[in-house]
Amino acid sequence: MIEIKHLKTLQALRNSGSLAAAAAVLHQTQSALSHQFSDLEQRLGFRLFVRKSQPLRFTPQGEVLLQLANQVLPQISRALQACNEPQQTRLRIAIECHSCIQWLTPALENFRASWPQVEMDFTSGVTFDPQPALQQGELDLVMTSDILPRSGLHYSPMFDFEVRLVLAPDHPLASKTQITPEDLASETLLIYPVQRSRLDVWRHFLQPAGISPLLKSVDNTLLLIQMVAARMGIAALPHWVVESVERQGLVVTKTLGDGLWSRLYAAVRVCGAACMPPCARRRPASGGDRGVYSLDAGSRLRSSAVCAERGATHFRCTHSEARITAAPVIKLGQWGC
């Protein structure tokens, strides 16, 4: 049986041209290397090279094994290098939230610094419905505030956020201490170009009261806020979208009713509990939900780990009363246990 070390020794002998030079390259004595070749030739049953030939001459059998060494050793080297290099992969993300870009982009930049081998594609969920695409394997992750029942998807909660009414500073409603659905009946509500049934302000504030204000679609957050500032309508937006603009005095925000809150989820395909590591299975979610996450009394999301068909995906996000203090950090291929 010939081993890789024998092929390396043959190659060193060819490259060096003599036993003495090969021994120096291999950090052996000439005597030890000579004995090594003698033992190998005895096991193989044939000579590998002609002793004391000048220049060094290999036997036909030795030439055959040299050709083998020239083929096999580079392949082994490339294979080992590939094993040690990070594998290139792609994370396909869709977001159903226009304004999520404000905190998602910095989070993705941090992720790329830690995981440069992962190529990220992310798309806004405006022109298509991303959750069916996630079900069909066209996406790996969808950030959404909508839960589809019996979808076969796992929804891992990331954080809660308040949807606030956005008004021009001189708007009549800006002086009100509490906003009711009836206050919006005669207003023009500026919305993103989605079905109104997907709007939290519609589902949980206006529709239950039977109020249907005029709706006007605007596909750009900056333009939408400028239109609000110009008294061309009002809007209902997540608090993080308007915090900086409100500090500049361009708009004011008001609480809708007693407070309109929504929850952002990271949706992935479910591959079943069998693929979860023991540490994840030991941390069932409160309330019997299938997700593995925990919330303390202050509604701070400590961690959530979910399993997707393309491997484990781990999110961490912390959320305080009025602001996101750290955007999600997405880690592929490992569990934060």
Write down the pLDDT at residue 118.
Answer: 85
- 161-260: CATH number: 3.40.190.10
Write down the pLDDT at residue 249.
Answer: 94
Q: 57: which residues sit within 8 A by CB, 6+ positions away?
A: 49, 50
Write down the pLDDT at residue 99.
Answer: 66
- Cis omega (within 30 of 0) for bond into 55: yes
Please name every residue paired with 161 in a beta bridge, in sequence order, or none if there are none: 262
CATH fold of 4-84: Arc Repressor Mutant, subunit A (1.10.10)
Domain boundaries, the chain: 4-84, 89-159+262-332, 161-260
* pTM for the full predicted model: 0.55
Q: What is the pLDDT along the chain (337 residues), one digit of tens a residue?
A: 788 999 999 999 999 988 889 889 989 999 998 999 999 999 899 999 998 888 889 999 999 999 999 999 999 998 888 787 666 688 888 887 666 666 777 777 888 888 888 888 876 544 567 888 899 888 999 988 888 888 889 999 988 999 999 999 999 999 998 899 999 999 999 998 888 888 999 999 999 999 999 999 998 889 999 999 999 999 999 988 898 899 999 999 999 999 999 998 999 988 643 333 333 333 333 333 333 322 222 222 222 333 333 333 333 333 333 233 233 333 333 323 2
Write down the pLDDT at residue 300.
Answer: 26
Domain 89-159+262-332 in the same topology as domain 4-84 = no
Ranges of H-type helices in the chain: 4-16, 19-25, 30-44, 60-84, 101-114, 130-135, 200-201, 221-229, 239-247, 278-281
- 89-159+262-332: CATH number: 3.40.190.10
Q: 301: which residues sit within 8 A by CB, 6+ positions away?
A: 157, 158, 159, 293, 295, 317, 318, 319
Write down the pLDDT at residue 149.
Answer: 84
